[in-house]
């Protein structure tokens, strides 16, 4: 497929995480709703309250909506805002990882367990100890180890932390200082906790220097994703206020990663968020834009388009269709 395809037309969906389970593609997106909350830089207007799970047997075929997999009212520690999630499989169980503000309005990451990839998912009583911020992405390496990547600036609250500790007044570093990184952490054997302290996902420029906070064209903002191609680890992410999806490549799931380029130019809408998956011999980029809602940045729609690599392993840039 050379042209992007919209996937869901009966509701607004965004922030896709996609995996192949049982020979099918399973899509785990955010569920956008019209909350009536004014738009602001903290993302209060993204007041999502449940997750639907979707599946596809072929990339061109119909999309099945399996209905609600979990609702905010079912989560004991819930405050508000059920943002981007991801799912992993281990030992016959499916683990749904989700960011959610607790009753004190602090984002934590929770986990819920299901017997089937479409759910339903039963949440644990409390969030993962030591978790914070948003956008969990779970990657299974070839040796069976699972890693979680997470973090997001501004409304995602990552600027409120240094070395996994909350600071008095959350702020981004000065432009000349190293940018705040995404986090990576190995998960415990039971998939319910962190097995270690999260560490920073270091992004380097072509000269081996750490990308700075003022480099908004390349610095991490949110939407971590990890995939492996030809033995290399590809860390991809959103630049946020410059509206690009970029990627960096490394030799270890922990990094460091060297910046390589832009995967997707800006789309219609403010946010850009994605995942990359191989299916039936080809690679695909799942992402979203706000075209079907007439450009409403908080009402987004899922798309998929084929992702292509050059011989040297670099990714060919895709036109997002935005400004």
Annotated catalytic residue within 47, 118, 135, 222? 222
Alpha helices by DSSP H, listed for 31-150, are none
Pairing of strands 203-204, 257-264: parallel
Which residue from 90, 81, 143 is spatially nearest to 109, judged by alpha carbons? 81
- Annotation says 47 is catalytic: no
**Bond into 232 cis (ω within 30):** no
* C-beta atoms surrounding 62 within 10 Å: 9
Query: What length does the chain have?
Result: 323
Phi-psi region of 160 (alpha: psi -120 to 50; beta: other; left: phi over 0): alpha
Annotated catalytic residue within 15, 32, 86, 289? 15
Which residue from 275, 222, 278, 226 is spatially nearest to 255, judged by alpha carbons? 226
- Annotation says 65 is catalytic: no
What order of strands is seen across the sheet that includes strand 245-250? 203-204, 257-264, 245-250, 232-238, 222-229
User: Per the structure block, which two tokens stand in for 152?
Assistant: 């997001």
What is the rounded distance in angstroms from the CA atom of residue 22 to the CA atom of residue 19? 10
Task: Count Cα atoms within 13 angstroms, Cβ side, for 176.
Answer: 0
Contacts by residues 198-203 (CB-CB < 8 Å, ≥ 24 positions apart): 198/130, 198/150, 198/164, 199/254, 201/149, 201/235, 201/254, 201/255, 201/257, 202/255, 202/256, 202/257, 203/179, 203/235, 203/248, 203/255, 203/256, 203/257, 203/258, 203/259
Question: Annotated active-site positions, please?
Answer: 15, 222
């Amino acid at each position: 497929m050379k042209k992007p395809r919209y996937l869901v037309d009966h509701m607004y969906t965004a922030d896709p995480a996609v995996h192949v389970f049982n020979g099918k593609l399973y899509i785990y997106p955010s569920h956008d709703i019209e909350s009536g909350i004014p738009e602001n830089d903290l993302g209060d207007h993204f007041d999502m309250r449940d997750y639907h799970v979707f599946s596809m047997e072929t990339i061109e075929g119909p999309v099945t909506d399996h209905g609600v997999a979990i609702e905010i009212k079912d989560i004991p520690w819930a405050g508000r805002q059920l943002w981007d999630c991801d799912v992993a499989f281990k030992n016959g169980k499916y683990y749904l990882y989700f960011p959610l503000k607790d009753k004190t309005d602090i984002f934590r990451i929770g986990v819920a367990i299901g017997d089937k990839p479409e759910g339903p998912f039963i949440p644990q009583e409390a969030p993962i100890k030591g978790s914070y911020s948003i956008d969990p992405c779970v990657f299974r390496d070839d040796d069976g180890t699972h890693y979680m990547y997470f973090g997001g600036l501004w409304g995602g609250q990552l600027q409120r932390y240094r070395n996994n500790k909350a600071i008095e007044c959350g702020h981004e570093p000065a432009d000349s200082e190293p940018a705040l990184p995404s986090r990576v952490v190995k998960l415990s054997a039971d998939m319910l906790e962190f097995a270690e302290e999260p560490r920073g996902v270091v992004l380097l420029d072509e000269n081996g220097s750490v990308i700075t906070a003022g480099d908004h064209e390349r610095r991490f903002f949110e939407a971590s994703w990890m995939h492996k191609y030809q033995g290399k680890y590809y860390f991809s992410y959103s630049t946020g206020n410059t509206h690009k999806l970029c990627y960096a490549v490394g030799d270890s799931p922990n990094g460091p990663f060297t910046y390589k380029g832009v995967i997707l130019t800006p789309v219609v809408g403010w946010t850009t968020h994605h995942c990359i998956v191989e299916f039936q011999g080809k690679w695909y980029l799942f992402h979203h834009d706000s075209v079907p809602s007439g450009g409403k940045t908080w009402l987004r729609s899922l798309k998929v388009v084929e992702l292509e690599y050059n011989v040297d392993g670099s990714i060919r840039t895709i036109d997002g269709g935005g400004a």
